[in-house]
Structure 1
Amino acid sequence: RANAIPVAEFAFSQILLGLKGFFRNNRILRETRRFSAEGAGPGAYGEEVALLGAGAISTRLQEMLARCDVKVTVMPSRPERRTVTLDELFRRAFVISNHLPDRADNKRTITRAHFESMRPGAVFINTGRGGQVDEEAMLDVMAARPDLTALIDVTEPEPPASSSRLYTLPNVCLTGHIAGSWNDEVHRMADWVIADLERCLAGEPMRNLVTESMLLTS
């Protein structure tokens, strides 16, 4: 849960910027050197945001997005818990943010067809794992559809090969797996561990236990 906080904050900022069309508008201004609102997104009011996964990061992100006038649709990783399909979310949502857990059954879950079905100007965010995406297919679609934006913090392999199109496609924004705890944020993780250790030594229940059931149901 401690590490979920910076990831959720990172995704939250990208979601709001994605809804405004920040990334696409910035690209257009740089390319055309003409000041305009071209490429602006629909904005946050009433728009749909899809969160893939229902674990600690997604839960924290839902709390943050509750302060905004957006429609948040969550797809748990376990099929039996879903009320919406991955196909539907990629077709409907303007921003899709991946937080699926790192499990074998989630490998290559996100396919070419999903990216091809995205709405004009839509945004895909990946702070989950690179292996959950058919990366080459994603890059093919991004190359063919410059209206789309991919914000990629995790890849497979990691780091990407120096020849990867992740570095060169203008509508792919690549960061070096920085969404999780770094620098000052690591202190939070240590503080939480120490606090739970103190509770344990005092015979009190710990607040941040990770159980098998949590890993199986997110």
Structure 2
Amino acid sequence: MKIYIPEPIAEAGEKYLEFQGYEIFRGSGQTDRESLIRDIAECDAMILRTAKMDEEVLEDGKKLRIVARHGAGYDNLDVKAAKERGIITTYSPDTTALSVAEMTITLLLMLAKKVKRMETELRKDNFSYKFSHKGMDVSGKTLGIIGLGKIGKMVAKKAAIGLDMKVISYIPRPEGKEIPEYIKAVPLEQLLKESDFISLHVPGGAKNQNLIGKKELEQMKESAFLLNLSRGGVVNESEFAEAVRKKQIAGGALDVFAKEPPEITDDIFKLENVILTPHIGSNTEECMERIAMDVAKDVDLVLSGEDPRHPIRQ
């Protein structure tokens, strides 16, 4: 049987599939719609990374039995259309949390210590810049987390126990949920007003589009920073840029964008107090291997007539 992998995954995942007797098919290696439609026609399974799998593409996967999303999100996969065609969809929900949590803490500390600006000025031979521009200690500061799933909880643990931060979280329906003792559940308005750092870890989709916009930004402290390592579109980027430019908030960090890759001419790229990274929260060697093995095993299970471990349920 043939596994369609148009964008490379970690070698361990491909070797696992080949050992199980499957043929790895890369097609043209392109991810435009025409290429996907042409290449997917003879394949039994697909491991999907960044390509967009909509109804039209899925329609041409006549032999497809499974589309395995390489990652924890699946905004680029039309799950409903796949289900209507009897195609199983899976994802990898448990493999990215550690890497994204570490990246979140990295960016939080970079913002607090003004690392980006200090490094830029030093390269200009401006060693004395540091005397008039000081960073802050995060111990005792308040971190507000919106989205207390696996990643959010891991960020909270690292911040509270490792950095001695006060952690609060907005949890829409806290009833029956296990909330660690070092996290205090608060209303969203309170989180926005009290947090020195706000970190977003919510799913994508229409429900959370523009979750943070002009109204929410106006409620934040002037000294506060906003971090988005969840999904593009959760933060209204133009309104965020405006808030930073007007000094309504101190700055922030974005690892995800409404459009990827983003336009580097956008206003947000002109801001000194914002760190921008190209969706690399989970982009580590270890994480890529974990994901590749995770999705490869689900592909093998489905093609062997068994149930996958991580089906997408809607």
Give the TM-score range, shorter chain: 0.7 to 0.9
- Residue 14 of structure 1 aligns with which residue? 107
TM-superposed CA distance for 1:104, in Å, is: 2.1
Matched, 1:69 2:164: yes
Identity of aligned residues (%): 26
Please name the residue that 2:36 is paired with: none
**What is the aligned counterpart of 1:51 among 141, 145, 156?**
145
The 2-side partners of 1:179 and 1:187 are apart by 15
Aligned to 1:119: 221
TM-score by length of 1: 0.77
Change in CA separation of 1:23 and 1:163 when aligned onto 2, cut-off 3 Å: closer
User: Does structure 1 conserve the Cα–Cα contact (< 8 Å) formed by 2:117 and 2:272?
Assistant: no
Q: Which residue of 2 aligns with 1:181?
A: 283
- Give the letter for the 1:62 counterpart: A
Q: Is the 8 A contact 2:282 2:288 kept in 1?
A: no
SS at match of 2:173: helix
Structure 1 vs Structure 2 CA RMSD: 3.3
Contact persistence 2:146–2:202 (CA under 8 A): yes
Question: Larger Rg: 1 or 2?
Answer: 2
What secondary structure is seen at the aligned counterpart in 1 of 2:103?
helix
Structure 1: 5+ residue stretches without partners: 199-205
Which TM-score applies when normalising by structure 2? 0.55
- Deviation for aligned residue 1:167: 1.9
**TM-fit CA distance, 1:32:** 10
1:89 to 170, 191, 209: 191
Could you tell me which amino acid in structure 1 is paired with residue 187 of structure 2? Answer: T
Deviation at residue 191 of structure 1 after TM alignment:
4.2
Q: CA 1:197 to 1:51, structure 2 compared with 1: closer, same or farther past 3 Å?
A: same
Gaps of 5+ in 2: 1-93, 176-184, 301-307
Stretch deviating more after TM superposition (38-47 or 48-57): 38-47
Alpha-carbon deviation of 1:179? 0.9
Shift of 1:128: 1.0
2:263 maps to what in 1?
Answer: 161
Across the two proteins, how many residue pairs are aligned to each other?
205
Shift in alpha-carbon separation, 1:38–1:121, aligned structure 2, 3 A: farther
Q: What residue identity is the alignment partner of 1:47?
A: K
State how far apart, in whole Å, the 1-side matches of 2:256 and 2:95 are.
Answer: 19
Deviation sequence 1:9-41 (CA, Å, 0-9, x none): 100112233334445666777899333354434
Give the distance between the partners of 1:121 and 1:97, measured in 2 at CA. 15
Question: 1:59 and 1:107 mapped to 2: Cα distance?
Answer: 22
Equivalent residue for 1:203? Answer: none
The one-letter code sitting in structure 1 at the alignment partner of 2:205 is: R
- The code of the aligned residue for 2:279 comes to H
- Give yes or no for contact 1:51–1:98 (8 Å, CA) kept in 2: yes
CA contact (8 A) 2:145 2:170 kept: yes
| In 2: Cα distance, 1:42 partner to 1:154 partner | 25
- Give the AA of the match of 2:143: V
Deviation string, structure 1 residues 171-195 (Cα, Å, up to 9, x no partner): 2221111112344531122345578
